[in-house]
Amino acid sequence: MHGIDESRIFKPVRIAVLVVSDTRDAETDTSGATLAERIQSAGHQLADRKIVRDDKTLIRNTVKAWIDDPAVDVVITSGGTGLTGRDVTPEALTPLFDKVIEGFSVILHQVSFQSVGLSTLQSRAIAGLAGETFVFCLPGSTGAVKDGWDKVISFQLDSRHRPCNLVELMPRLSEV
């Protein structure tokens, strides 16, 4: 059986949200607001939320601080995964990954194809494990954030999801 097993206990995780954008601010950040609302509605804790411009150093330093913070289990970014010269989120964060979660991109593209068709090929959405922190990099549109959270990430961050989920791996991430 796969899906949510209601007989299991839900374990909330602490999630930080980073929006990467040269044009959005606190008032116009719909993708960050959507993520924050969905994270909290799911029963998780919003550990932090920030907006930075499309700059490799700013993106990397912000996420690195969260990776180093034991009060953050997961980082989700929105934006900067496209193909333009200013889209640098993958370049900023991939060097921080100890392991790439290659299946995330594959599944997200499958889900996105249902919403945006072949336009999904313009996304370089990625995910990885950095230390003991999971990092997911989503495109910047509110629709992509909804698809990414609602159809992929939320299930893997739900401790009741079967046959397996990322939450049950968290205690074992520091194994050597």
Question: Which CATH number fits the domain that encloses residue 143?
Answer: 3.40.980.10
pLDDT tops 70 at residue 158: yes
Indicate whether 2 belongs to any domain: no
Euclidean distance between CA atoms 99 and 97, whole angstroms: 5
pTM as predicted: 0.97
The secondary structure of residue 9, as a DSSP letter, is P
pLDDT in tens, 112-143: 999 999 999 999 999 999 999 999 999 999 99
Q: Are 56 and 92 in contact (CB under 8 A)?
A: yes
Tokens of 79: 């934006």
Residue 174 is assigned to a structural domain of this protein: no
Is the residue at 1 inside a domain? no
- The verdict on residue 6 lying in a domain is no
- Whether 4 is in a domain gets the answer no
Strand partners, 127: 136
Mean pLDDT, rounded, of the chain: 96
- Name the residue range of residue 164's domain: 11-169
The Cα–Cα gap between 4 and 15 comes to 20
Instruction: Report which DSSP code applies to 131.
Output: T
Specify if 16 maps to a domain.
Answer: yes
Q: What is the pLDDT of residue 1?
A: 65
Q: In the chain, how many domains are there?
A: 1
pLDDT in tens, 56-80: 999 999 999 999 999 999 999 999 9
Q: Are strands 126-130 and 99-100 parallel, antiparallel or unpaired?
A: antiparallel
Which residues have C-beta within 8 Å of that of residue 20, sequence separation ≥ 6?
A: 51, 52, 53, 54, 59, 77, 78, 79, 80, 89, 140
Residue 5 lies in a domain: no
